[in-house]
C-alpha cells in the first residue's frame, strides 16, 4: 500500500482487493457512504453476475420462510426493528454453489467468519467456554 503524507495526514493511494488479492489504485474500488469497499470494482461485478445467475435458478423463498440459522421469519425481524428484512442469497464463495437464503444478520455473521468452518468452530468453542 502506498502512503503519502500530505499536510500531516496519511493519504492512502491503493489497497489490496479482499477477493483477488491484487493491490490496485483506490479508483478501482467503489466508495460506500463512509468507506472504500474491500472488493475492487472488477471483482464486485463478477460477484454480482454470479449471484444474479443464482437468483434466476433459485427464486426468493416464500413469505413464511425462516432463516435456517436463527429461525427468524421476516415478520420476526420487522418486530425487532431490523431495517434489512429481505433474504440474502447465501452461496459458497469458492465453488459458487447455492446454499440457501439467510437473514441479513446471519449472512453477515458467516461473512465475518470468512465462510471458514474452522473459525466458526473456534468461535463456538470460545463462546461455550466463556459462557460457562
Rounded mean pLDDT for each run of 10 residues along the chain, 132 residues in total = 46 87 94 88 94 94 94 90 84 91 92 91 95 82
Give residue 35's pLDDT. 85
Q: Using CA atoms, how far apart are residues 120 and 127, in angstroms rounded to an integer?
A: 10
Strands 23-25 and 29-31: unpaired
Name the architecture of domain 49-132.
3-Layer(aba) Sandwich (3.40)
8 A C-beta contact, residue 73 and residue 64:
yes
Q: For 40, list phi and psi in degrees, rounded to 5.
A: -70, 165
Give residue 10's pLDDT. 59
Q: Using CA atoms, how far apart are residues 103 and 109, in angstroms rounded to an integer?
A: 10
- Every domain of the chain and the residues it spans: 1-40, 49-132
Give residue 11's pLDDT. 67
Rg (CA), the chain: 18
Give residue 5's pLDDT. 42
Amino acid at each position: 500500500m502506498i502512503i503519502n503524507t500530505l499536510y500531516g495526514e496519511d493519504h492512502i493511494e491503493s489497497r489490496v482487493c479482499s477477493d483477488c488479492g491484487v493491490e490496485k489504485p483506490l479508483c478501482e474500488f467503489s466508495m460506500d457512504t463512509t468507506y472504500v469497499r474491500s472488493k475492487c470494482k472488477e471483482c464486485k461485478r463478477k460477484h454480482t453476475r454470479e449471484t444474479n445467475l443464482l437468483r434466476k435458478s433459485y427464486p426468493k423463498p416464500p413469505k413464511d420462510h425462516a432463516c435456517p440459522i436463527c429461525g427468524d421469519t421476516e415478520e420476526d425481524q420487522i418486530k425487532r426493528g431490523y431495517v434489512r428484512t429481505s433474504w440474502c442469497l447465501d452461496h459458497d464463495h469458492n465453488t459458487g454453489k447455492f446454499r440457501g437464503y439467510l437473514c441479513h444478520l446471519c449472512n453477515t455473521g458467516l461473512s465475518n467468519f470468512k465462510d471458514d468452518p474452522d473459525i466458526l468452530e473456534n468461535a463456538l468453542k470460545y463462546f461455550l467456554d466463556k459462557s460457562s
